[in-house]
Amino acid sequence: MALRKFAAAAVALCCAAAPPRPVALEYRTDGQDTRFAKAFETIDKWIRDGAFPGATLAVGQHGVVVALKAFGRTQYAVDAPAVAPDQIFDLASVTKVVGTTTAVAILYEDGKLALDTPLSKYIPEFSGPPDHDKVTIRQLLTHSSGIPTPGLLYEKAFDKAGILKQVYQTPLDSPPGTKFVYRDPNFMLLGEVVERVTGRPIDELLRTRVFGPLGMTSTMYNPPPRMLSRIAPTQKMGRRVVHGQVHDENCYVMGGVCGHAGLFSTAGDLAVYAQMILNGGVYGGTRILKQRTIDLFSQRQNLPAGSSRALGWDTPYPGSFAGDLASARAIMHTGFTGTSVYIDFERDLFIILLTNRVHPVRENDRIDLARPEVHTAILGEIRQRP
């Protein structure tokens, strides 16, 4: 009897210590929280310095959005529209985690996809060149497959099939699992795997299994023309400014729905996604993923040894964009257009920073200095999770 009482007391103590999971995000952004004044000033400074024309920032902790703020303008022109808090940005490679990695995790949970199964099982056309049949799904997720980027794919193709055919036929430049090199073809292939396994486009799977249930109504591939006024323009190409179409050339040729790029979203929508991850896969009473799946995909895979990569996600390391105060238990990813997501399990925190730093030219790399400074300013004001 005494043993049962001790066990019951231990369970009660454990449960009491665990922070409650919020059903949905609460917003406290009335300007009373002044902790992030330095971060706001930092973003404004980088706008003045030309790192990007505009940005949105969302910071949330313990299920509460404590900052949701817009900065600057959509373009550098003095008469350009001011960035709105619900401004839509081209996420670029943040698509790899919010979109493709989530889809892969769902299929893994459903028992339809195995991480250590050779890619050629799902895409037989990939089995031609030497060692292609040894490349696994896990190696694609960790960018350790050895698959190179065979030049400017979009210059030699007219459609998705033409892009993928080049990847299928290109020899590896290192044995699978032995070297980390971040490359888009890994996620081009994962997007194709998702579509072959499910028999439907990846955007449809994500809309029905993730974005729709989470109420992420501003997150999509190929946004319709009626949403153009809400979308921040990206690069200027000749006399044309890319606006409302995917910035990535390969994804554009592939039809805008790809494993490596293509998603458009807002800071508010991504805050919901990040909170779902912090909640252990559930949000608003709807379960998207299981806790154990999130745990698995958030862990460093050590593939190859010493790599910071988890499954799809990256984790903080010295010199990373998350800054010197980043937690050991965090996942993150950036996008070429100037976007980033940081989800911190130690602090029960997320930071979403969206910019269009490629406007008007892609060579602008000041974002590499701006990101860690912004994150450090925020994390310096945030307590560790109680």
CATH number at residue 314: 3.40.710.10
Chain-centroid distance of CA 183 in Å reads 15
Bridge partner list, 237: 240
Spans of the chain below 50 pLDDT: 1-18
What pLDDT is attached to residue 19? 54
> Is 257 inside a domain boundary?
yes
Residue 326 lies in a domain: yes
| Cα angle 44-50-56, degrees, rounded to a multiple of 5 | 45
Question: How far is 312 from 195, CA to CA, in rounded Å?
Answer: 17
Longest Cα–Cα distance of the chain, Å, equals 81
- φ/ψ of 201, rounded to 5, equals -60, 150
Question: Which string of b and e fits 26-60 if b means at least 16 CB within 10 Å?
Answer: eeeeeeeeeebeebbebbeebbeeebbbbbbbbbb
Q: Is residue 230 part of a domain?
A: yes
The amino acid occupying position 66 is: V
Per-residue pLDDT reduced to its tens digit, 87-133? 999 999 999 999 999 999 999 999 999 999 999 999 999 998 999 99
Of 217, 200, 194, 223, the C-alpha closest to 99 is 194
Residue 273 lies in a domain: yes
Which helix (H) or strand (E) segment holds residue 105: the answer is helix 102-109
Task: Tell me, yes or no, whether 235 lies in a domain.
Answer: yes
The whole-number pLDDT of residue 22 equals 72
The half-sphere exposure of 134 on its side-chain side, counting CA atoms within 13 A, is: 14
Please check whether residue 255 lies inside any domain of the structure: yes
Strands of the chain, DSSP E: 26-27, 54-61, 64-72, 89-90, 220-221, 236-237, 240-241, 263-265, 282-283, 286-287, 330-335, 339-344, 349-355
CB of 64 closer than 8 Å to CB of 155: no
Q: What is the pLDDT of residue 384?
A: 64
Type of residue numbered 325: L
The predicted pLDDT at position 20 comes to 62
Domain carrying residue 221? 23-111+201-379
Q: Is 14 a member of any domain?
A: no
Pairwise CA distance, residues 218 & 227, whole Å: 9
Residue 126 backbone dihedrals phi, psi, to 5 degrees: -80, -5
- 339 vs 87: CA distance, rounded Å: 13
Overall domain count for the chain: 1
Asked if 219 and 291 touch (Cβ cutoff 8 Å), the reply is no
Please check whether residue 311 lies inside any domain of the structure: yes
184-205 burial: b if 16+ Cβ within 10 Å, else e: bbbbbbbbbbbbebbeeebbeb
- Residue 31 confidence (pLDDT): 58
Q: Could you give the CA distance from residue 206 to residue 303 in angstroms, rounded to a whole number?
A: 27
| Tokens coding 138 | 């896990």
